[in-house]
Amino acid sequence: MRGPGRRNPVFWGELERRIHVEWLIVTLVLLSLTALISYFSSFLGLARLDHTFYDRTLSSLGSKAPADDIIIIAIDDASIREMGYWPWRRSVHAQLLSRLSQAKAVGLDMVFSDPNPAYPDDDQALAQAIAAHGRVVLPVVYNDQIPEISPPLPVLAAAAKGMGSITAHADEDGTIRSVVLQSALASGAKLDHFLLAMLEAGGDSALASRLKQQESDAPRLIAYKGKPGSFTLYPYTRVLDGGISPSAFSGKYVLVGSWASGLGDYFSTPRSINGEPMAGVEVLANGLQNALDDTWIGSFARWQNALFAVLPVLLACMLLPRFSPRKSFLASGSMLLLIFAADWCFMYYANFWIPPAASAIGVALTYPVWSWRSQEAALQYFDHELQKLREEGLPYSKDMAAGGAPRPDGSLSSRVIKLHQAISLLRQAARQREETLRFISHDMRSPQNSILALTELQARSQTPLPPKNLLEQIERYANKTLALVDGFIHLARAESMEMTYRDTNLADLLAMVCDERWPLSQQRNNTITYTSTVDDARVKADDGMLARAFGNLLDNAIIYSPDGAPIQCDLTREGDHWLVTVRDQGRGISPDQQASLFTPFKRFDETTPGNPTGSGLGLAFVQTVVARHAGSITVSSIVGSGSTFSVTLPADQAGEPN
C-alpha cells in the first residue's frame, strides 16, 4: 500500500504533461495575438496608445540644442502689427530676399498659387528677386486624398531653384510625428518634399540623393530638438528693416514662414508643452535638421515590429510556469516596466523607437491567461482523479466535508471544497488504516494471546485449571474479541458509509431508545426517566445510526452507575437546535480523562477492580455519528458526582409544522 506522503509518479507525470500542453497552447495563442495586435495596431486603434507612449518618451529625453545652421524668419504678431494686415504685398517678400543673398538656401513657407489682381506687377518683382537670389525654394500643396497638386504661379515656379511638398502628414490624433520625403503621384512619378528641395538648393545634392534611395516614401520619425521656439528666430520686420545684419545668414539655411497666432499654421507635436502647438515652419526646421544630421528616429516595418513585440511575451511565458503565483504576478509587473524602460533606453541611446503597446498588452494578458489555464487544467485533472477515486470505492459523502456541501457548479470555491473533501477522506482512510493495524496488532492480539496462554497452561500437567474456570476465561476473552470487532465495525461504518438522511422525529426516536434499554436497566435496578418539552422535534437524520449513538450513551450511563441509581434523558429546544442530555450518577470523569474521552481505543482505569469491560470505541462512535449529523457533543463531569453528556443537533426548519 502506498503511504499518503509518497508521490505517485504516474499521477504527477500525467498532470505535468497536461500543464505542459496548456503552456504550449497559451504561449502560441498569446504570441499570435500579440503579433496580430502589433501588425494591425492602426486598424485596432492601438496606434493612439503607442503615440501616447512615444510622446511621453520623447518629451522625457529633454531638449537638445539645434545646430546654428538653420534660421527661422518669423511672420509674427509684432511684424503684422507693424506692417498691417496679412497677406502682405509680394514686393515686400522680394525686398526680404534681397537681404538674404548670403543664405545657403531660402525656403519660403508661403503659398503663391493665385495671382494678386490688386498688384499685378508684384508677382514679376518677386520672381525677379527669386531668380536673382538663385537658391530659393517654393512650396507645393499636395492633396493625396483627391489627389491634386497646387503649384506656385508659373512665373514664380520658373524662377525658383526648386519646389517641394509641404503637406503635413498627421497621425490619427492630429499630431505631426513624421515626414514623408517623397509622395507617389497617380502618374507614377514622385513628388519631393520641401526638405529635399532645400538640400538640393543649398548644394547638398548628394545628401538629398542618398535620402531618396532610403525608402523615401516611408514615414520618417522627426527627432524634435525641443519645445516650440528652440531654433534661432528673427522677426520678419527686423530682417526687412536691416535690424539683423545680412552676414547673420551667411551659409545658413533660412526658412521664412508664419509664426503669428492668427494665421493658423500651427500643429500639435510630441514636443508640444501643455497643449502649446508648434508653427509649421518650425516643424520644417526640425525635419531639415534631421536630414542634415541624419538624426531621424529609427523604426521598423510593421512585420518587424510584430516580431519584436512577441519577444517580451515569449520571455514571460517561459518564466511564469517556473514561478509561484505571487512571483509570477511580480514577474509580469516587472516585465511591463522593463518594456517601457527598454523603449526609453532605445530612444535615448540608439535614437530608435519600438511601439510598446502590443507587447504590454501581451505581457499583461500572460499572467491572468496562464493562471486561468493552469488552474483549470489542474482542477479538471483533480476532478477526474476524484471521480476515479469515487468509482474505485473511496467512501464519499457530502456531509463529511468541512464547510458543507459545495454548490453543484464548476466554480473555484466549489471545486476547492470537493478537493478538501477528498483530502479529508484520504486522511480519514489513512487514519482508519493506522487504527486497523493497531487494532489487529494489539487489541485483537491481546485476547487471542491470552487464550493461547490458557491453552498452553492447560497443556501442562502440573498447572491445569478446572474445566469450568478454563471455559469461563476463554469465554471472557472471546467475548472481548467479539466486542472489539463489533465496536470497530460500527465505528468504521459511522466514519465511511453513505448515510441516508430522512425526516425524523427526535422525540419519538429517544423514547424508543430509552424503552429498548429497559431490560438492561432492570438488571441493575436503575430507572431511566425520559422527558421532552416538545412532541415533534424534527431533524434530518439516519435514524438507525443516531439511535445506536444515543443507545451507547444510555448503555454507558447504566454500566457506570451504581445499582439503583437514576438516569435522566432530556430533550429541549435551544434556538435552531435540539439539545439532548443524558445524565447519570456514576463515578464521574476527571478533567484529564475528559480531554481524550472520545479517542478510539482509549480506556481508563482498566486495572481498577470492578471496572466494566469495553473496547474504547463506543464514545468515538457517538462523536462520529453526531458530527456527521452536523451536531456536537460535550461532557461535563465531577469525579464522584456523575456525568452529563450533551448532544446538540440542528433542527429541521423545513420539516416543522407551521
Q: How far apart are CA 314 and CA 21, in angstroms?
A: 16
The pLDDT assigned to 126 comes to 94
Residue 51 and residue 175 in contact, taking contact as beta carbons nearer than 8 Å: yes
Q: How far apart are CA 230 and CA 643, in angstroms?
A: 97
Q: 591 or 293, which is more confident? A: 293
- If you average pLDDT over every residue of the chain, what do you get? 82
- Provide the CATH topology of domain 498-658: Heat Shock Protein 90 (3.30.565)
Burial 273-305 (b: 16+ CB within 10 A, else e): eeeebbbbbbbbbbbbbbbbeeebbebeeeeeb
Q: 634 or 407, which is more confident? A: 634
Nearest of 266, 271, 267, 182 to residue 222 by alpha carbon: 271
pLDDT tens figures, 41-78: 888 888 889 988 998 888 888 778 888 899 999 999 99
Going by the DSSP 8-state scheme, the letter that residue 116 receives in this structure is: -
Give the pairing of strands 253-258 and 232-235: unpaired
Q: How far apart are CA 276 and CA 510, in angstroms?
A: 90
Residue 312 and residue 335 in contact, taking contact as beta carbons nearer than 8 Å: yes
What are residue 450's phi and psi, to 5 degrees? -65, -40
Q: Which residue type occupies 451?
A: I
Q: What are the domain boundaries of the chain?
A: 9-39+301-387, 64-299, 498-658
Q: Which residue has the cell 489627389?
A: 147
Residue 566 and residue 552 in contact, taking contact as beta carbons nearer than 8 Å: no
pLDDT tens figures, 541-579: 888 888 888 988 888 888 888 888 899 999 999 988 999
Residue 253 and residue 70 in contact, taking contact as beta carbons nearer than 8 Å: yes
Q: Which residue type occupies 187?
A: S
**Structure confidence at residue 362 as a pLDDT band (50, 70, 90):** very high
Q: How far apart are CA 262 and CA 256, in angstroms?
A: 17
Angstrom CA distances, 288 to 212, 224, 390, stand at 14, 11, 78
Burial tier of 467 (Cβ tally within 10 Å: 0-12, 13-18, 19+): exposed
- pTM of model > 0.95: no
The pLDDT assigned to 356 comes to 93
Contacts of 117 (CB under 8 A, 6+ apart): none
The pLDDT assigned to 11 comes to 47
Q: Which residue type occupies 208?
A: A
Give the pairing of strands 266-267 and 527-532: unpaired
**Structure confidence at residue 620 as a pLDDT band (50, 70, 90):** confident
Q: Which residue type occupies 321?
A: P
The pLDDT assigned to 468 comes to 73
pLDDT tens figures, 373-396: 887 787 777 777 777 766 665 554
Residue 77 and residue 108 in contact, taking contact as beta carbons nearer than 8 Å: no
Going by the DSSP 8-state scheme, the letter that residue 193 receives in this structure is: B
What are residue 568's phi and psi, to 5 degrees? -115, 130
Distance separating the N- and C-terminal Cα atoms of the chain: 54
Would you tell me the crossing angle of helices 90-98 and 120-133 to the nearest 10 degrees?
Answer: 20
pLDDT tens figures, 461-487: 566 677 777 676 676 666 666 656 655
